[in-house]
Every structure is written in structure tokens, then in C-alpha cells.
Amino acid sequence: MTHFEPSRATVHIIGAGLAGSEAAWQVAGRGVRVILHEMRPHRMTEAHRTSGLAELVCSNSFRSDDASNNAVGLLHAEMRRLESLIMRCADTHQVPAGGALAVDRDGFSAAVTEALEDHPLIEIDRAEIDGLPPADWSNVIVATGPLTSAPLAAAIRALTDESALAFFDAIAPIVHRDSIDMSKAWFQSRYDKAGPGGSGADYINCPLTETQYHAFVDALLEGEKVDFKDWETDTPYFNGCLPIEVMAERGRETLRYGPMKPVGLTNPHDPTTKPYAVVQLRQDNKLGTLYNIVGFQTKLKHSAQTRIFRTIPGLENAEFARLGGLHRNTFLNSPKLLDNRLRLRAEPRLRFAGQMTGCEGYVESAAIGLIAGLYAAADARTHTLEVPPQTTALGALLGHITGGHIETIDAGPRSFQPMNINFGLFPPLANPPNKAPDGTRLRGNEKAIAKKQVICARALSDLDRWIADALHPAVAA
């Protein structure tokens, strides 16, 4: 019979974003009571717009869904095996996006909210936790995200005795589909790739000539930017989410090799002329009425955004459902502050999850919420749950957060940087493949592809073994 530790039998989860929502689902799924504290709608963040749980603040994409060749696709697959609520709701509310898993943001958030509200072991408390959690909460998950409210952030900073780290994150504009001029733009996925949920024609493409591209870059460089506040001046950007005007500053051609690259696309309105650059828009809601401009995070002032983006062919009359913006992102120096089960060394009743721990992205945040939930449930049941193998995507990500940067800690608190899941976080293969199944020798890129596929297969089989050997005995309901 399972023994519950009375003082730990209720898990308090602060923040019902991607991580907190997934953590609550996992804890309750193991028969343990949860109180989920969410400050919205009473107090909003700079980026959230709704009262829905697991609101996606910017892009609607969960990125590649390819579990054989792509690290984030592999993480999707592992989370599905662990009955992730976030993945279940994403799959149900998928919209076409080539090889990516993109979702209708409102349908997705409504489904997560409903599942958590309906769960008999979950109570949702709509209130801000404005300081350290009360002392009698002995099993707590803090999942308040990059936009953690100021009083809680200050309390954590005081407890950890070091400044929280910060960098900038930017969001991209969203355009009403019916305001796009389709006599200039066209539907096509790069290389006509259909992917799991797509048709091969999922993106709207807007072509630019060389002259138009250079005029656009000039406008970006000259466009009025939002002023930096004092605390922002020495905060670095996260390289995966650079504002377009910052990319333009790095070189005139940078955008043409980044979000505006023209490859794999043919303009049906003028098939013989290769566009010099292309702006892509991706479907943002199930109805297909909204499209976000891919990779166009920006800190240009709203008036400058409207003016400059309307110079893009096809977007001359664009109506914007939301303009881009820029926000601070706060995260812990986790390798130093957290143990390998995500507990704060200085106060182990507090466990952290989501982007605050220094992972990056919706999927990664939910994945860390998932594992934090499993640990909290195991604590409540006085069991010990072994960490997932480092050969799995979940274990690799956890390893990066809690130990991956151990050797750089001495270099100073800024050595730890948030990271998306990637193959570089996995232990190398002892015997990397050099032959195809038919015995022919693999060359160059073929070897790299085969290596990723072996890493993915190894991850899924190791995860299955961990679920059977460690997870079920430790936290079975």
C-alpha cells in the first residue's frame, strides 16, 4: 500500500503556464492532490493576453514533429509516452505547418484549462503568490516562467543570494489572412514538404526583389526602436530569438540567409524569376484567419512596424492582429542552485520547472514541468524516482539544466545560458554508424543523418526501460 507523507501530500504549483499545467497533470495523474496557483487574470504579464492556462505568448509552433531525425520531435515522442497533457492537447488542436507541430492557440489553451479544471484532484487558485510560499507548503513547484511577477522574483533572488539572470525575448507580429494580397503572395511549404500535419502548401510567401529587399533592410536599420530601460542596457539577447533589426545590423545579407531565405520556393505568379528574398507567414489559428510572420520578432515601435511591414509585397494592406514586442526573460543559474531533481539546494521544499530553470521553448518548458511533476508526486508518496537516462531527450535536457554546465560555474554566473533541446546535449554514440543497412558505406551528411536516427532509437528504448523499471514502481497511482 502506498504511504503518503502527510505534510507533502498536497503539491502546490505556482504558475499555470506550459510547465505548471503539465506538472499539475502529472502529479494528479499519480493520485496526489494539487493546488495550482495562477495570477492571471487578476494580474497579467507583459506578454500574456488571456486568462487561459498554458497560453502561448508568441509563435504557435511546437517545432519539428519528426521523432527520428530531430531532437525536439524526439522530445514530443517521449512526452507522449509519458501521457503528457500538453502534447495531447497540441495533437488535438494541430493546424497545418509542414513538418512542424503548430496549434490553434485558443483551442489548445482551452483544452488544457478544461482538463485541469475537470480533474477531481486539482484545485485552481486564481491568485498571485507575492513572496516566498508559506512555510507549511512543503512540496512546491515554482513554474512562474520568464515573466515571473516582481515580488516573487525578488523573494527568490534574496533566497538564492544572487541576481537572477536575464536576456531579451521578442515576439513576432500576427496578420489577418484576408488582408494579405494573394495576387502577389502564394501558398507553399519550403521544398513542398508536407510533414505529418501539412499539405505541402502551408505557408504564405511574399517575394521581394533585390531593390525591395535592400530598401526593407534600410527601413529596419533606420526604424524607431523601443527605448531601453536602465536595467536592460547590459542584458544580452538569446541568439535563437534575435529581433530582425538586430539581425539586419549584423550584416545586410543576414536576413536573406535567415528568416527571409528564398530557397525551396517558386513564385507561381512569376515562375521564371527567382525572388531575392521571401517573407513567410505561418497559420496561427485553426480557422486559418490569422498568420504570424515567421522569425519577425522585433523591438521596433508599433508605428514603425506597421509602416515598414506594409512595404513587403503582398502585405501593403496588412491588418495586424498583434504587433511584435520585446520582453525580459528571467532564469536561474540552475546548475549551481538546483539539485538533480530540480530542488533548490538552499530550500529543498521548493522545486523549479519550466523556463525559469534555463530551458528554452514551449516544449522544453512543458517537458521540465512533466519531470518536476513526477518528482513531486514521488516525494508525496515517499518514493525515490531515479533520474531519466541521459540518453533520452528528457534526461539530456535535465542534465543540461542541473549539471551540464558544472565545469563553467567558476567562470561566473553568466556562463549558464538557456538552451533548446539539441543533439549536442546527448552522450555521444560508442559506435557511430558508418554503413547503411544494405552494407554500403555512408558518406558526409548520410553519416550525420544515420547518427541522429540511432540516437533517437536509443532514446526511445531507454525511456521505455526507465518507465518500466523506475517510473512505474515509484509513482504508479
Ligand X SMILES: Cc1cc2nc3c(=O)[nH]c(=O)nc-3n(C[C@H](O)[C@H](O)[C@H](O)COP(=O)(O)OP(=O)(O)OC[C@H]3O[C@@H](n4cnc5c(N)ncnc54)[C@H](O)[C@@H]3O)c2cc1C
Amino acid in the structure at residue 378: A
Question: Using CA atoms, how far apart are residues 426 and 424, in angstroms rounded to an integer?
Answer: 6
**Whole-number minimum distance, CB 386 to ligand X, in Å?**
24
Does 284 engage in binding with ligand X (CB under 6 A)?
Answer: no
87 contacts ligand X (rule: CB under 6 A): no
Residue 20 binding ligand X, by CB under 6 A: yes
84 binds ligand X per the rule CB under 6 A: no
Of 43 and 274, nearer to ligand X (C-beta) is 43
The minimum distance between CB 174 and ligand X, in angstroms, equals 12
In the complex, least distance from residue 421 CB atom to ligand X, rounded to whole angstroms: 11
Of 65, 91, 106, 169, the residue at the interface with ligand X (CB under 6 A) is 169
Per-residue contact string for residues 321-350; x = within reach of ligand X by CB under 6 A: ------x-x---------------------
- With respect to ligand X, which residue has the nearer C-beta, 169 or 202? 169
Kindly tell me which residue out of 146, 195, 275, 313 binds ligand X, with binding defined by CB under 6 A.
146
Least Cβ distance, residue 149 to ligand X (angstroms): 4
> Considering only residues 8, 15, 77, 280, which one is a binding residue for ligand X as defined by CB under 6 A?
15
Q: At its nearest, how many Å lie between ligand X and the CB of residue 293?
A: 12
| CA–CA–CA angle 341, 351, 45 (5° rounding) | 135
| Under rule CB under 6 A, residue 75 binds ligand X | no
Residues 408-437 that bind ligand X (CB under 6 A): none
Confirm or reject binding of residue 371 to ligand X (CB under 6 A): no
Q: Note whether 59 binds ligand X by CB under 6 A.
A: yes
Task: Pick one of 11, 12, 17, 314: the residue that binds ligand X (CB under 6 A).
Answer: 17
**Interface residue with ligand X, options 156, 171, 293, 425 (CB under 6 A):** 171
Q: Is 76 in the site for ligand X (CB under 6 A)?
A: no
Q: Contact letters (x/-) for ligand X, 31-50, by CB under 6 A?
A: ------xxxx----x-xx--
Which residue has its beta carbon closest to ligand X? 17
Minimum separation from the CB atom of position 252 to ligand X (A): 26
Query: Can residue 109 be called a binding residue for ligand X (CB under 6 A)?
Result: no
Give the C-alpha separation, 330 to 301, whole Å: 23
Interatomic CA distance for residues 329 and 334, integer angstroms: 15
The answer to whether 312 touches 232, Cβ cutoff 8 Å, is no
Grid coordinates standing for 34?
Answer: 494539487
Minimum distance from residue 312 beta carbon to ligand X (Å): 20
Q: Which stretch binds ligand X (CB under 6 A): 15-23, 258-266, 341-349, 440-448?
A: 15-23
* Using rule CB under 6 A, residue 355 touches ligand X: yes
Q: Using CB under 6 A, which of 26, 113, 139, 148 touches ligand X?
A: 148
Q: Which residues bind ligand X (CB under 6 A)?
A: 14-20, 37-40, 45, 47-48, 57-59, 128-129, 143-149, 152, 169, 171, 327, 329, 354-356, 361-362, 365
